[in-house]
Homo-oligomer: A and B are copies of this chain.
Amino acid sequence: MTTQQLINQIKKKQSFLCIGLDVDLNKIPQHLLEEEDPIFAFNKAIIDATHQLCVAYKPNTAFYEAYGIKGWQALEKTINYLNDKHPEIYTIADAKRGDIGNTSTMYAKAFFEDLGFDSVTVAPYMGKDSVEPFLTFEDKHTILLALTSNQGAFDFQTKTVDGVELYKQVLKTSKTWKNSENLMYVVGATKAEFLADIRQIIPDSFLLVPGVGAQGGNLQDVCKYGMTDTVGLLINSSRGIIYASQNDDFAQAAAVKAKELQLQMSEILNA
């Protein structure tokens, strides 16, 4: 998917919501465990109930790998379902991969070609040649970790490197990489006040913003400091939406929570 197609979808749906499909079998309604593929059954119900309220879905691969082969089958079914039934939806493999060049190429093929995701999250620690293989794929995005939403972000990301914080160094350096127009960045909502500085470095890039809701980030603050003329934001919510209810009404409850966020987003877009 191109960036313009994503922007068009945001305008049409009046939403820049991304829903994180982080399925934990201990947290889903217990009757689903009788299904042949409980993870996919859960995802399908959530997608069916919320796809008009969001523009993107983001399965975190950890939650699928934790269930071995069955988990990967559920991930494949989920991305295939999205690509078949809702091709307008933007898909993010939240995988946080990154390795030396030829190995990163294997990861890029896995997520872009084999699974068919529109984008994948990548860690920057190994530098240019660990990220550039992802950037060579046309109409695919690489979402680089910049400033994450967890407490550990302060261990290294905010430390000063050659006069500027490491996460800013990552932003600046990544702009010099080949095909850097295919980059987006992860910036946690819990650090919304950092967004003004970040926009000085990357005025136009899309940001994937986790941490709204369960992790305590605030939507209004994120938009105040991070929104661009073409929106430039994908706000992720996972647990706050998909586990809104653990009863039979889980999908409707998820839709109610997604609708609340979509309405707030619509107001912001029209302000």
Bound together, the chains give a CA A73 to CA B123 distance in angstroms of 26
Interface contact B148-A126, CB-CB below 8 Å: yes
Q: Is the CB of A98 within 8 A of B114?
A: no
Q: Does A106 contact B (CB under 8 A)?
A: yes
Stoichiometry (number of copies): 2
Q: Is the CB of A162 within 8 A of B162?
A: no
Interface status of A118 (Cβ within 8 A of chain B): no
Which of these, B110, B126, B155, contacts A127 with CB under 8 Å?
A: B155
A173 within 8 A of B: yes
Encoded as 1 (CB less than 8 Å from any B CB) or 0, chain A from 109 to 128 comes to 11000110000000111111
**A160 interfacial by beta-carbon distance below 8 Å:** yes
Interface residues in A65-108 by Cβ distance below 8 A to B read: 65-69, 72-73, 76, 94, 96-101, 103-104, 106-107
Q: Say yes or no: B65 contacts A73, CB within 8 Å.
A: no
Query: Complex formed: what's the CA distance from A215 to B129 in Å?
Result: 14
Give the interface residue-count category, chain A: 35 or more
Cβ distance A159 to chain B, nearest Cβ, rounded Å: 5
Tell me the minimal C-beta distance from A151 to chain B in angstroms: 5
Q: A125–B145 contact, CB under 8 A?
A: yes
Min distance, Cβ A89 to any Cβ of chain B, angstroms: 21
A149 at the interface (CB under 8 A from B): yes
Determine whether the beta carbon of A68 is less than 8 Å from that of B166. Answer: no
Interface residues of A (CB under 8 A from B): 22, 24, 60, 62-63, 65-69, 72-73, 76, 94, 96-101, 103-104, 106-107, 109-110, 114-115, 123-131, 145, 148-157, 159-162, 166, 169-170, 173, 215
14 contacts between A and B (CB under 8 A): A62-B103, A62-B107, A63-B106, A66-B106, A66-B107, A66-B110, A66-B114, A98-B123, A100-B150, A124-B125, A124-B156, A125-B156, A126-B157, A159-B166
7 new A-B contacts, CB < 8 A, other than A101-B150, A130-B150, A156-B161, are A62-B104, A62-B107, A63-B106, A66-B106, A98-B123, A124-B155, A125-B148
